[in-house]
Amino acid sequence: MARSFAPILKMAAGHHGGEKAVLEQSKNSHAVKSLAKAPADRLLSVMTRCVFNAGFNWKVIDAKWDGFEAAFEGFDPGKLAFFGDEMLDRLVSDERIVRNGQKILATLENAKFVAEVEAKEGGFGKLLADWPADDQLGLMDLLNKRGSRLGGATGQYFLRFAGWDAWIASAHVCAALVREGVLDKPQATSKRDLASLQAAINGWHADSSLPRAQISRLLALSVG
């Protein structure tokens, strides 16, 4: 078991203006009070943004986002799932968005995924809200298997930005975990390394009672 979280919090506080300041800075600004009630179109919007952000300049995506909302019909999953094949040709030539054919196709496939969960499993927000908070890896596996282009960091960012209490295996987080003896190298892509990361963060959550997303941020801030 890794050491308690208090020394890590102290390190982060030393780099960022004291404990009160760093606790405020590290809060998950995307957290929501009732994830179960999150509208499906907003969750698909967040999902799409994360897919397009992957490997791309986030500022460009931000600047075009109103165009994305219009081009993708407000991200209504039922509408996009129904018109998916017919819309593909139009969307790949739509100058309001980034015209990446694979990511556009992924969005239409994810619309089908979200629409299916809405119809058969009580709602996508409910699925997220009901998932055990200590099993992010299980939820990431579901996104990877049933969604499109939602593996790895993209799935982690989607969960965080959707409001789920998610850790992110960023370079700074992984560097902190090497320092703490949790990882052997400053990256976590294998199942073994991700399981070690999850176990450590779950342990620090039990020790500190801080949300897992905040623990993730504090780990990153403890690096400098």
Task: For 158-211, write each residue's pLDDT tens digit.
Answer: 999 999 999 999 999 999 999 999 999 999 999 999 999 999 999 999 999 999
Question: Does residue 117 sit within a domain?
Answer: yes
Last residue of a domain, one of 117, 133, 162: 162
pLDDT at 48: 98
Average pLDDT over the chain reads 96
Number of H helices, E strands in the chain: 13, 0
Claim to verify: residue 104 and residue 153 sit in the same structural domain: yes
Claim to verify: residue 51 and residue 85 sit in the same structural domain: yes
Question: Does residue 1 sit within a domain?
Answer: no
Exposed e or buried b for every residue in 40-58, given b needs 16+ CB within 10 A? bbbbbbbbbbbbbbbeeee
Question: Does residue 63 sit within a domain?
Answer: yes
Q: Name the residue with tokens 């018109």.
A: 83
Look up the pTM and report it. 0.96
Last residue of a domain, one of 146, 162, 178: 162
Question: Does residue 148 sit within a domain?
Answer: yes
Tell me: the pLDDT tens digits for 82-101?
Answer: 886 778 989 999 999 999 99
Number of domains in the chain: 2
pLDDT band at 224 (very low <50, low <70, confident <90, very high): confident
CA–CA gap between residue 62 and residue 118 (Å, rounded): 27
Domain with 12, as residue range(s), is 6-28+167-221
